[in-house]
Structure 1
Amino acid sequence: MKIKDLPKSELPRERLETYGAEFLSNEELLSIILRTGTKGSSVKELSQSVLSLCKDAADLKNLTLNTLESIKGLGPAKAVSLLASIELGKRIFIDTSYKDKIKVRNAAEAYINFGHEIFLKKQEHLLAIYLDTHRQVLAHKIIFKGTVNASLVHCREIFKEAFLESASGIIIMHNHPSGNTHPSSHDDQITKELFMAGKTFGVEIYDHIIVSEYDFFSYVEEGRIAYA
């Protein structure tokens, strides 16, 4: 049955207004986001096609723009709208879960909670995790992408966010697209620059972690903080 064939009281939008969003199925919620179908595909069928790509609702966060656009009838505009909604949901989850509850006390906890955000990237990405005195996460942010080096501009960006968040410490994390987490001379240099800047600004650098999909390297745990 297509949505247009349903009684008005059973349409997703009307059901949300009557019962609340929490009582709608994933398919109904997607139908509201997608709004309309296309020639040859109802909005219900489009929603089912999207969900068929996922084991569960949590899998929606892994969908890419290319994957969504490959669905017959789901054009660029609908794909972008859906991806934006998914991204907003991810950010809400991060703000309510990570920010308020997650403590990062060592490199393994940092990797488990945040490594997945960058370890599959095809370019190097540098992510900063901002912590309070109890090692509780205040915020995290990808500062830049490209070759990691000892640029003073990058240091300024990292510490500017620390001041905005009133952070007492920072964990720096970046990925090696090659999969080899052994630090390069550039990595050593940026680590030295960041630790020196941290001492100057009064914001401690708790660690610098290099990540790949299956491994990570911690400057602290490997005793390489002496570089600073």
Structure 2
Amino acid sequence: MAISDWPEDERPREKLLARGAAALSDAELLAIFLRTGSRGRTAVDVGRALLHRSGGLRKLLDMPPARMKHLPGLASVGRRALLLAALEMGRRYLAEELERGFSLDNPEPAARMLTAELRGEPREVFAVLFLDNKHRVIGFEKMFYGTVDGAAVYPREVVRRALEYNAASVIVAHNHPSGVAEPSQADRDVTDRLRKALDLVDVRVLDHLVIGDGHWESFSRRGWV
């Protein structure tokens, strides 16, 4: 049965417009970009097959275009371009919050934007948001890079950049490439070193966010900063 023969409230596009994108499954969202299926299969069927073949939506969208084109249903340049453009649009939408002047008064918006920046990194990346005295963003930098086992963090470099930005506070963050966001003892030790170094120049560490795969943890929420 073709999608056009389905009840109207079950068709992916109509369902999205009536109930919102969150109501759609991953396969239904993919079907909107695929637009058509193949012989004997609807676009939703092709979407399910793509998810199964790639190991899920995240792995599909993280796949290099050169590999993506070999998947059934994505041989078309147009389809691949639509998917990649949608992914980049989402990243840019979140990245706009990193622009100078955006205020961060709780962990949620910071975690949202930092997840977009760090979640896909194959190695640990330590990043810093520099804020003014009203918690508005005045700078963002990925400062230290490591392996999947850890990143070497140098507090003196964070202090130096904080002074150059004339920052009143910072939010630091790093990703766990394993996907597990639970902070380690090493993460706590680094945070203590940073806090002590920045205290000397009257710059406050507001939070340390650990970014996993689809989840994040906040030191401030745990009462650790």
Classify the TM-score, shorter chain. 0.5 to 0.7
Residues in 2 aligned to 1:58 and 1:191: alpha-carbon distance in whole angstroms: 36
Distance 1:59 1:184, change over 3 A: closer
Distance 1:62 1:53, change over 3 A: farther
User: 1:62: how far off?
Assistant: 8.5
Question: Contact 2:209–2:219 (CA<8 Å) still a contact in 1?
Answer: yes
User: 1:104: how far off?
Assistant: 1.2
Q: 5 Å matches for 1:1-228?
A: 49=77, 52-55=80-83, 57=85, 59-60=87-88, 98-146=98-146, 147-149=150-152, 151=153, 154-225=154-225
Q: Structure 1: which amino acid aligns with 2:81?
A: L
Q: Structure 2: which amino acid aligns with 1:224?
A: W
Distance 1:168 1:50, change over 3 A: farther
Question: Contact 1:118–1:174 (CA<8 Å) still a contact in 2?
Answer: yes
Show CA shifts across 1:82-131 (max 9, x none).
xxxxxxxx6xx96x763334211122111112221111211110000000
Residues in 2 aligned to 1:201 and 1:223: alpha-carbon distance in whole angstroms: 22
Q: Structure 1: which amino acid aligns with 2:204?
A: E
Question: Contact 2:100–2:139 (CA<8 Å) still a contact in 1?
Answer: no
1:28 — aligned with what? none
Question: Contact 2:210–2:216 (CA<8 Å) still a contact in 1?
Answer: yes
Gaps of 5+ in 2: 1-75
Structure 2 length-normalised TM = 0.57
User: 1:56: how far off?
Assistant: 8.0
User: 1:60: how far off?
Assistant: 4.6
Q: Classify the secondary structure of the residue corresponding to 1:134.
A: coil
Distance 1:60 1:119, change over 3 A: closer
Gaps of 5+ in 1: 1-47, 64-89
Residues in 1 aligned to 2:79 and 2:88: alpha-carbon distance in whole angstroms: 8
1:18 — aligned with what? none
Residues in 2 aligned to 1:162 and 1:102: alpha-carbon distance in whole angstroms: 17
User: 1:49: how far off?
Assistant: 4.3
The count of corresponding residues between Structure 1 and Structure 2 is 146
Q: Structure 1: which amino acid aligns with 2:82?
A: C
Query: RMSD across aligned C-alpha pairs, in angstroms?
Result: 2.7
Q: Classify the secondary structure of the residue corresponding to 2:194.
A: helix
Residues in 2 aligned to 1:160 and 1:50: alpha-carbon distance in whole angstroms: 47
Structure 1 length-normalised TM = 0.57
Question: Contact 2:98–2:140 (CA<8 Å) still a contact in 1?
Answer: no
Q: Structure 1: which amino acid aligns with 2:208?
A: H
Residues in 2 aligned to 1:187 and 1:56: alpha-carbon distance in whole angstroms: 34
Q: Structure 2: which amino acid aligns with 1:54?
A: L
